[in-house]
Amino acid sequence: MNNAAYVALMRAAHDRAGMPVGRLRELTIANREPLGPEVLVDIGVSVLEADASHRRIAYALRAQGRLAAQVEAVWQDSGPTLEVELPRIARDAGGRPFRFSQVVRSHEVAPDGAARPQAILQWLEHAVFRAAARAGWPGTRMEAANFLSLVVGHDLVLEAPARDGDELVVTSRLIELRRVSGTWHHEIHRADGALVATDRARGAFLDRAGRIRSAPAEMLEELLGGEPAD
């Protein structure tokens, strides 16, 4: 189950708990264990912080009593737009950007007219796969190298809405590298320049059997190089 599905489950639990729905401003996802198909998921909902302007809600996703993922959401009800800071990184790896354009489609839009957070996370997931392929590392080459990267967390900040038919530019670059993990910084802008979302996506480096390993040095070098010239 990918991160976009976690957001759908979070929203379903939020509504079932009778929580009011404001404007979603921030979404933090921390994956603990993978969830497979046909698994019964229990979701606990708790209020961490609340005042007249916003609420911070926690959602704990458990399967067979084990914590699979933790999600926190900040919902704004009133007042000026909340200032949200992305987590700091120890040192910028200096990756150059990858970019692509796309148009918001009608099935990606919620009843309020804005693109669903699930759709935004799916665009960012595609951005990483696209970047890897553009750098010469499609899925087949990663499989041959006995390597995969599993997303273990997101820090997503939502800004201006993206609506049906809006043309967007998605920019992604590798900003942090550790021995067995890496972090991508994503930004989504509308054609008028408005910032739609920013995200820090953390990935763990594994082999095909799920054991932690380092990433191929050649792959990291090519990903740091950014969008190749056509």
Are 171 and 218 members of one domain? yes
Of all residues in the chain, what percent carry a pLDDT higher than 90?
82
Contacts of 120 (CB under 8 A, 6+ apart): 156, 158, 162, 188, 196, 197, 199
The three-state secondary structure class of 158 is strand
In this prediction, residues 59-82 reach a mean pLDDT of: 91
Q: Is 88:183 a contact under the CB 8 Å cutoff? A: no
Q: pLDDT, tens digit, for every residue of 96-117?
A: 999 999 999 999 999 999 999 9
CATH of the domain at 29: 3.10.129.10
Strand, helix or coil at 62? strand
pLDDT for 2 beyond 80? no
Kindly report, residue by residue over 161-187, the tens digit of the pLDDT: 999 999 999 999 999 999 999 999 999
Look at residues 17, 51, 79 and tell me which one is the last residue of a structural domain.
79
Buried-exposed string 69-87: b where 16+ CB fall within 10 A, e elsewhere: bbbbbbbbeeeeeeeeeee
Domain housing 148: 94-230
Cβ proximity of 21 and 116 under 8 Å: no
What pLDDT digit, counting tens, does each position of 211-230 carry?
999 999 999 999 999 999 87
Flag the least confident range among 25-29, 69-73, 87-91, 202-206: 87-91
Among the listed residues 60, 45, 51, the one whose alpha carbon sits nearest the alpha carbon of residue 6: 60
- Give the side-chain half-sphere CA count within 13 A for 132: 19
Closest CA to 123 of 71, 158, 88: 158
Q: How many domains does the chain have?
A: 2
Whether 102 and 56 map to the same domain: the answer is no
Q: Are 32 and 3 within 8 A, CB to CB?
A: no
